[in-house]
Amino acid sequence: MFVSDLRHFLDISDEAPGPARKMAEHLGFVVRSATAGNAGASWVSALTCRRRPANRPCEGRIAVFRADLPAPIEWRCTACGDEGVISGWEDSPYDLRQPGSLSDDQSWLETLVTDELAATLRGLMFLDMECERLVFQMRSSSDGIVLTAGAEGLDYLLGFVAANANHETARRRQRRLQAAFEVLTDALQEVESGHTVSPVVASQARESLGDTVDLTGRWRILEMDLWDREALDLVAPAFIEFSLDHTGRFGFIAVTGWIDWRRAATSPSGVEFSWEGADDGDQVSGRGWAALQNDGLHVQSFGKQRGVGHTS
């Protein structure tokens, strides 16, 4: 059994030996998982075992247990039996016990994700506590890794994925972040459609929209005529979204708004919409269109705010 005090690993130097840094990361992940979940019961997290018996990755998961009162956190591998206890974790940067402020009191959705996607989410930079709790509450099941979240939580997490993708230079990690963005977008659509559109209405909407269903969902705004990429994401990752119930929303820089859209009469892959919103507190409105093309979704807006531009 590995007995550890987390305080000895909090300020570990980048010059420390590799095994020590890996152990510090492992213990931090265990504490996050144990404090993100409920106390008083053992559960199997999405964390994979760090050991390599016979030079092969262990296939086990890390089960964690945290008592109701502050006490050492217990952890063990479900396959190889590697185990330990961690003390000194209270009030550390990895302590996620305090409830988050996400006010998502609607239904929550269980989304199956791969190990690679789960690892990508754990590696996101600058996550706030609410999103860290979502990421480290992921559990292992017989079907795969389960991410449980509501619309607001998924929306917040999507923003962090997009922000990380915008500043990532490594192409392999960019692909992983893009895959995570697509999975979370699909999950957000599903949980939101459960609140706003009944299954019957959603089915009818798909039948009536035909090819335009491809436009539904959240699109990242990558280019605009008047602003560069850094300006677009000044407040939050820029986006435009088309929902199945013919509503939607958008946001870039300090501009936010809502959309009322319909199928374009001239193009089966296009839509027309009216919009209204706020630009740094000022009320604004206008009209626009969107069409799916080979290089992404092209949007043009006409009104007080111009140049919603090219998105993909």
Same domain, 105 and 234: no
Q: What angle do CA 294, 300, 302 make, to 5 degrees?
A: 170
Same domain, 143 and 237: no
Tell me how many domains the chain contains: 2
In a domain, 199, yes or no: no
Whole-model pTM: value is 0.60
Do 86 and 70 form a contact (C-beta atoms < 8 A)? no
Phi, psi of 217 (to 5 degrees): 120, -175
Same domain, 153 and 219: no
pLDDT digits (tens, 9 = 90+) for 11-70: 888 888 888 999 999 999 999 999 998 888 889 999 999 988 888 989 999 999 998 777
Read off the tokens for 76. Answer: 């063990």
Q: Residues near 20 by Cβ (< 8 Å), separated by ≥ 6?
A: 9, 12
| CA 55 – CA 65 distance, rounded (Å) | 28
Do 61 and 142 form a contact (C-beta atoms < 8 A)? no
Same domain, 75 and 161: yes
Same domain, 137 and 219: no
In a domain, 104, yes or no: yes
Same domain, 64 and 160: yes
185 pLDDT more than 70:
yes
pLDDT at residue 198 in the model: 32
Same domain, 183 and 213: no
Of the candidate ranges 29-33, 103-107, 133-137, 277-281, the one whose mean pLDDT is the lowest = 103-107
More confident residue, 122 or 242: 122
In a domain, 128, yes or no: yes
Same domain, 97 and 235: no
In a domain, 203, yes or no: no
Residue 289 Ramachandran class (φ > 0 left, ψ -120 to 50 alpha, else beta):
beta
Q: Return the number of other C-beta atoms located less than 10 Å from residue 209's C-beta.
A: 18
Distances, alpha carbon 89 to alpha carbons 22, 39, 96, 105, in Å: 17, 14, 10, 30
Residue 195: pLDDT band (50, 70, 90) is: very low
Range of the domain at 249: 209-311
Asked which of 191, 217, 244 is the last residue of a domain, the reply is: 191
| Mode of pairing for the β-strands spanning 73-77 and 310-311 | unpaired
| CA 208 – CA 200 distance, rounded (Å) | 12
Same domain, 164 and 218: no
Same domain, 277 and 228: yes
| CA 120 – CA 172 distance, rounded (Å) | 11
Asked which of 136, 164, 191 is the last residue of a domain, the reply is: 191
Burial group, residue 87, by CB count within 10 angstroms (0-12, 13-18, 19+): middle
pLDDT at residue 207 in the model: 41
Same domain, 292 and 264: yes
In a domain, 62, yes or no: yes
pLDDT digits (tens, 9 = 90+) for 217-229: 778 888 887 888 7
Same domain, 155 and 66: yes
Residue 201: pLDDT band (50, 70, 90) is: very low
Do 256 and 263 form a contact (C-beta atoms < 8 A)? no
* SS3 labels along the chain: CEEEEHHHCCCCCCCCCHHHHHHHHHHHHHHHHHHHCCCCCCEEEEEECCCCHHHCCCCCEEEEECCCCCCCEEEEECCCCCEEEEECCCCCCCCCCCCCCCCCCCCCEEEEECHHHHHHHHCCCCCCHHHHHHHHCCEEECCEEEEEECHHHHHHHHHHHHHHHHHCCCHHHHHHHHHHHHHHHHHHHHHHHHHHCCHHHHHHHHHHHHHHHHHCEEEECCECCCCCHHHHCCCCCCEEEECCCCEEEEEECCEEEEEEEEECCCCCCEEEEEEEEEECCEEEEEEEEEEEECCEEEEEEEECCCCCCEEC
169 pLDDT more than 80:
yes
In a domain, 227, yes or no: yes
